[in-house]
Chains A and B, each alone.
Chain A
């Protein structure tokens, strides 16, 4: 950061409030920050902390009931507050751009890409031809291989990753001073996300644009930003250079947040995650003291009464805590160590799937969602299922549960006996034995029923208990998922996301299942809540000896909870083995790429392996090895002609690759592959 130039953004004591039923409820409270020229600043916080509001306030784009209650905003030295409507418009046209989540919705569905990108230059007075040229040039700079063709496309003809590139190109077309990125990669697949992040990093230096990067994902921020601000309840509680702040956090909230994340190869049998107790204060509540007091293990009297200053700690690091020196002594809310797990070690797998396949018929095409998957799940273990969209992981779960009927020839066995393909044909015992926890508890719980009714119904149907026996069981269940029995009368809408997920877990455990499928059970939750749910799942497994099939796109979470991991790509099992084996080389080239794509909080990045192109469609999978179109370690013609078998390369470690395992080990110990070969651009055809 150079002091001589004008900062790209300066916020001074910015306050924003929403008017709800006639009362102003503050969302941002006196936020002061500044982003230097060419600097990248990360704003982190959990949902509801006000980070998106901050972004829209900067663009002077607030909902009708939102207003800026105080403070100043300066972009490139220009004061925004007194600006006329026309002035604001000009500012948006020239100085500041924004990219947000869900690029599919951000593009106008009935205008060609070219028109939408060119519009930006047209607005600045360019002629139609030069605006068109500029648009094409922008698309080239966001690494779209055939810009002229993409210009003529409509948004729906592009993949999510391509759409986001277009949106980024559009945002940079005016060469803005400040680029605001609000969760720009949330919802994209891991390898696509990595590409987009790389692209942003490259363009930022090329254009010299300052960036305000907003995310809930600490790892992404750690990768992308030079400085970070932690937002809590509308207040900036800590700020500092990224590495300093993550290595030496000085606010109890930051400390707690970092402890929630399963990182550095932490595993469920060694270490429990810490959690942050309580809830974000409700919107608009008066907070005379420190905003974090109610949830802070270090809070003392002064914290309730006096809002702490932002204490400078040197080197641009500052913390809004009375006891910032002690922040790292924040007591844990959960003991770190865990009792050693007791695993049943008899030989019979609890689930054995053989030649599982599922073909869907879609608009005249056969789509092979799952192709010849054979796998065993052992009693009491967690099998992690990893893969990007279209990999077939959810299909596999549905087949197992009997919600979807597999193709002929598929075999599923539960503890040695065959399972009927459809749930309706399964015995009561089999139904009880296989249950699921879904990703989104809002959809998974009937919003018209009370918690009591939801769990009772499961008890009645799965166990057949009635009356007082059922009541006792209900209380036991609630207790085992740490759900306050006084809340049993509540409906889902009255509960927080974490509590709802506990209800869903209680329901899944009502009939003492043998196997519980966890389909992204923490993806919809904030990290602090995620930690509590992961702890709960680990505890339940230890107590009840249940087996998990754990599906997640978050590799850190999968690694924390899984004993073995299976990697799927385009409906094929590419690799399966013990968790640590899969995470450490030698691994399948796809696994290698996937692992290198995911940023971590520690920042010690694996060498990045770039995957080119998009995930092919399952309706038209590549010949030979389905990964050959994107494989960074592509061997030669054999990859395109022959599908490699799933071979046991080490004891219990299976891989589907033509490259011999020793060769892989050698290659992966060396530097990463120079650069994946450029595949024929499939996306724009």
Chain B
């Protein structure tokens, strides 16, 4: 029961957040509404044609009407039509999202285990060389923007070693392993950036658990160190890490724009980039909103996992 309540509450909050998110995105995009018709038709087009296009697109109406129109569409599943591509936004969005998911998944599958292992390994040797090496290495890797990693990767693996393809888009009909091969470089760039966050959280959680009284109890029981770590430390320290992994989904999508642009991969990041260049608001708004939704869903899943694994939430009773 406690879980259901907890999750319902979280779901409610997520919906409110989603609404605010749509407002923020919409407002951000409307801060200084350029003349959409003019943007599409170019500086030399006839003013009447521009006006007519604006009317056709509905961009001459007030911002509230436009927001209502857009959000009404979103709720009913109609994301509108892209200005630039003159096609329904859904048709563009879903394939791009699927492509990005592949890339993101590959990056996650690599980074989550090594991030956690790295963080725990560092925590177990707190303050020693291994810890400093992993912590500072992770910190540095994380600090460098994805596109910088990308150009460095391209130089190393594409130009000098010449062992990996420097574009991400696999040829049509490529098999699983070929696809992975093409996606490896961009995924690695994401891995570098994410490693530090995950390792840092796993490290902090583990150190906290190592310092906890219950760990002392376990040691003083005379348990072997291995058992202490496995049963008493990790069980408590990895719980908060789960939540962090979910928030990384958000950072990951932020990185996709630059990565997909550099590696010329037709994912949602590339879509957003193009939509932004062409001031294609329906596409830009919906694509950004989708990224927000992905983030919120990931956080919800993390909450669910967290509450299932944490007896304090799972069994929260009326007693304190």
Contact A110 B220, beta carbon cutoff 8 Å: no
The interface bits of chain B over 257-270 (1 if a CB of A lies within 8 angstroms of the residue's CB, else 0) are: 00000000000000
Question: Nearest Cβ in chain A — how far from B8, in angstroms?
Answer: 14
| Partner pick for B239 among A100, A110, A120, A617, CB 8 A cutoff | A110
For residue A465, CB closer than 8 A to chain B, the reply is no
Could you tell me which residues of chain B, from 215 to 252, have a CB within 8 Å of some CB in chain A? 216-224, 231-232, 235-236, 239
Report how far A91 CA is from B220 CA in the complex, Å.
9
Alpha-carbon distance between A167 and B221 when the two chains are bound, in angstroms:
11
Q: Which residues of A contact B315 (CB under 8 A)?
A: 154, 156-157
- Hey, which chain B residues are within 8 Å of A495, CB to CB? none
Contact across chains for B310 and A110 when beta carbons are under 8 A apart: yes
Whether A306 is near chain B, meaning CB under 8 Å from some CB there, is no
Whether the Cβ atoms of A109 and B232 lie closer than 8 Å is: no
Bound Cα distance from A157 to B319, whole angstroms: 7
Residues of B within 8 A of A93 (CB): 221-223
- Most chain B beta-carbon neighbours within 10 Å: one of A106, A108, A123: A108
Contact partner of B221 among A105, A123, A157, A159, CB < 8 A? A123
Pair B222/A154 contact, Cβ less than 8 Å:
no
* Residues of B contacting A89 in the complex (Cβ-Cβ under 8 angstroms): 222-224
> Is the Cβ of B312 less than 8 Å from the Cβ of A156?
yes
Set A94, A106, A619: member contacting B318, Cβ < 8 A:
A619
Complex CA gap A97/B218 in Å reads 11
**Contact flag A109-B311 (CB < 8 Å), given A92-B220, A92-B222:** yes
Residues of B within 8 A of A619 (CB): 318
- Asked if B239 contacts A108 (CB within 8 A), the reply is no
B221 touches A92 (CB 8 A): yes
Contact present for A97 and B220 (CB under 8 Å): yes
Whether B236 contacts A109 by the Cβ 8 Å rule is yes
**A212 adjacent to chain B (CB < 8 Å):** no
Chain B proximity mask over A338-376: 1 for CB below 8 Å, otherwise 0? 000000000000000000000000000100000000000
B220 lies within 8 A of A98 (CB): yes
Q: How long is the Cα–Cα vector from A91 to B219 in the complex, in angstroms?
A: 12
The answer, among A94, A105, A107, A620, for a CB contact under 8 Å with B222, is: A94
Q: Which A residues from 373 to 421 make CB contacts under 8 A with B?
A: none
Q: Assess whether B311 is in contact with A106, with CB atoms less than 8 Å apart.
A: no
Nearest chain B residue, comparing its CB with the CB of A101? B213
Chain A residues 82 to 131 lying within 8 A of chain B, measured CB to CB, are 89-94, 97-98, 100, 102, 105-111, 119-120, 123
CA distance A92 to B228 in the complex (A): 14
Q: Which of B18-70 contact A (CB under 8 A)?
A: none
Which residue among A91, A97, A156, A617 has the maximum number of chain B CB atoms within 10 Å of its CB?
A156
B214 adjacent to chain A (CB < 8 Å)? yes
CB distance from B95 to the nearest CB of A (A): 42
Residues of A within 8 A of B216 (CB): 61, 106
Contact present for A110 and B224 (CB under 8 Å): no
A contact residues around B76 at 8 Å (CB): none
- The answer to whether the Cβ of A59 comes within 8 Å of any Cβ in the partner chain is yes
Distance between Cα atoms of A392 and B310 in the complex (Å): 32
CA–CA, A89 and B221, complex, Å: 8
Check: B155 CB closer than 8 A to any chain A CB: no
- How far, in Å, is B5 (CB) from chain A's closest CB? 10
With A92-B222, A154-B315, A156-B312 as given contacts, are A111 and B231 in contact (CB-CB < 8 Å)?
A: yes
B222 touches A106 (CB 8 A): no
Contact, CB under 8 Å: A91 / B312:
no
- Residue positions of B touching A, CB distance < 8 A: 212-214, 216-224, 231-232, 235-236, 239, 309-312, 315, 317-320
A sample of 23 inter-chain contacts (CB < 8 A) reads: A59-B220, A89-B224, A90-B222, A92-B220, A93-B222, A94-B222, A97-B220, A102-B213, A106-B214, A108-B235, A108-B236, A109-B236, A109-B311, A110-B235, A111-B231, A119-B231, A123-B221, A156-B312, A157-B317, A170-B221, A365-B318, A617-B318, A617-B320
Q: Which residues of A contact B (CB under 8 A)?
A: 59, 61, 89-94, 97-98, 100, 102, 105-111, 119-120, 123, 154, 156-157, 159, 167, 170, 365, 617, 619-620
Closest 8 CB pairs of A and B: A93-B222, A92-B222, A105-B213, A108-B214, A154-B311, A106-B213, A106-B217, A89-B222
